[in-house]
């Protein structure tokens, strides 16, 4: 199922990406973040909005501002390497948001992967990394295959459903194409299967294998993105300076050219995309596409036409702006009074 939060709103107002970036950056600055990090965070959040990934877009600044201001997260982290070899390294997030160590890791992986064929990074001691697809896309844009996952601190108790052990973490795969959009799969392993989600029992009755596979993916997120990054399985063993720095991540980059000529590979991806689009779509959908196509189309269109935001999204931004004493951009302010 598609996250309903990521549906294009029927009732909407459009805002220019640059205006939204500047606004989000100003909120991050008011929350105590330094300029470089505020601008990077704003850019990454607005990129998600541009792709229609609203759940991980600019609305998240409200949560981030509050946890920075209450001391759960370090507003001014200094990321640093704590382990480094030719093809592997670990980036410590210094108790801040996970965007900064994950972005640093993805950038560093590009050169190392091209030089060595494969490179792997782990990030630790940070909060939310946002959409995993942000970082896998960075690798695909450089002609590399990217894989990203994260894990977080669980609180597991005897008698709980084993589904809780699967957590709620994401993973993303990104594969470059030629003329077609890159294929980007970005999903929560247990999305729609949380204990409180509707229809869980019915889904398990109809397709138990589907549920177990999702749980298995969730278990792997915890092992690779959590335990490998130093997040303990038992909450009572966690020792942290910042309570909200309870996550880790793993990013893998593969150089296609070490296995097959990259242009040939991209041609096959383009052909795959073309053939797929000629097939019958799933029930209730108008088009058959590979993952990443819709996001690419929205990013191209909305960069020019503006990002459509619904009333709830705007109210979230208005609420944190009032809290921080920051003015809304004129277009959003006019809409919020309606």
194 band by pLDDT with thresholds 50, 70 and 90: confident
Handedness of CA 113, 119, 125, 129 (dihedral sign): positive
Model confidence pLDDT, tens digit, residues 123-168:
999 999 999 999 999 999 999 999 999 999 999 999 999 999 999 9
Quick check: 88 pLDDT over 80? Answer: yes
- Average pLDDT rounded to a whole number, residues 297-321: 95
Model confidence pLDDT, tens digit, residues 244-253:
999 999 999 9
Quick check: 219 pLDDT over 60? Answer: yes
191 band by pLDDT with thresholds 50, 70 and 90: confident
- At 335 the pLDDT is 54
Give the range among 170-179, 186-195, 220-229, 271-280 with minimum mean pLDDT.
186-195
Model pTM score: 0.94
Residues 147 and 249: their CA atoms lie apart, in Å, by: 11
- At 11 the pLDDT is 62
- At 297 the pLDDT is 97
- At 195 the pLDDT is 76
Residues 16 and 22: their CA atoms lie apart, in Å, by: 10
The first and second tokens of residue 150, run together, are: 């994260």
Domains, the chain, ordered by start? 10-70+306-338 (1.10.1530.10), 78-296 (3.30.1370.60)
What mean pLDDT is reported for the chain? Answer: 94
337 band by pLDDT with thresholds 50, 70 and 90: very low
Give the range among 23-32, 91-100, 187-196, 266-275 with minimum mean pLDDT.
187-196
Quick check: 338 pLDDT over 60? Answer: no
- At 2 the pLDDT is 52
């Amino acid at each position: 199922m598609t996250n309903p939060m990521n549906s294009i709103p029927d009732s909407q107002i459009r805002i220019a990406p640059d205006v939204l970036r500047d606004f989000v950056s100003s909120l991050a600055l008011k929350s105590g973040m330094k300029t470089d990090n505020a601008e990077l965070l704003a850019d990454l959040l607005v990129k998600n909005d541009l792709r229609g990934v609203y759940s991980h877009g600019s609305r998240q600044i409200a949560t981030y501002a509050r946890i920075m201001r209450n001391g759960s997260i370090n507003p001014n982290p200094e990321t640093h390497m704590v382990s480094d070899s030719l093809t592997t390294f670990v980036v410590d997030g210094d108790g801040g948001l996970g965007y900064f160590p994950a972005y640093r890791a993805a950038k560093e992986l590009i050169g190392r992967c091209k030089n060595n064929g494969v490179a792997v990074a782990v990030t630790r001691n940070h909060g939310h990394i946002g959409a995993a697809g942000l970082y896998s896309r960075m690798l695909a844009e450089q002609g590399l295959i990217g894989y990203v996952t994260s894990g977080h601190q669980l609180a597991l108790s005897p008698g709980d459903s084993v589904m809780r052990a699967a957590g709620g973490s994401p993973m993303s795969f990104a594969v470059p194409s030629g003329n077609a959009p890159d294929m980007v799969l970005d999903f929560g392993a247990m999305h729609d299967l949380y204990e409180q989600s509707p229809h869980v029992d019915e889904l398990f009755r109809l397709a138990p294998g589907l549920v177990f596979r999702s749980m298995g993916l969730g278990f792997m997120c915890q092992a690779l993105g959590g335990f490998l990054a130093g997040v303990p399985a038992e909450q009572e063993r966690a020792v942290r300076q910042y309570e909200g720095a309870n996550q880790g991540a793993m990013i893998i980059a593969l150089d296609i050219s070490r296995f097959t000529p990259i242009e040939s590979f991209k041609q096959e991806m383009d052909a795959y995309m073309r053939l797929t689009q000629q097939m019958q779509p799933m029930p209730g959908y108008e088009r058959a596409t590979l993952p990443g196509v819709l996001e690419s189309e929205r990013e191209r269109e909305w960069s020019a036409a503006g990002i459509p935001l619904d009333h709830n999204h705007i109210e979230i931004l208005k609420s944190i702006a009032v809290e921080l004493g920051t003015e809304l951009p004129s277009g959003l302010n006019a809409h919020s009074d309606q």
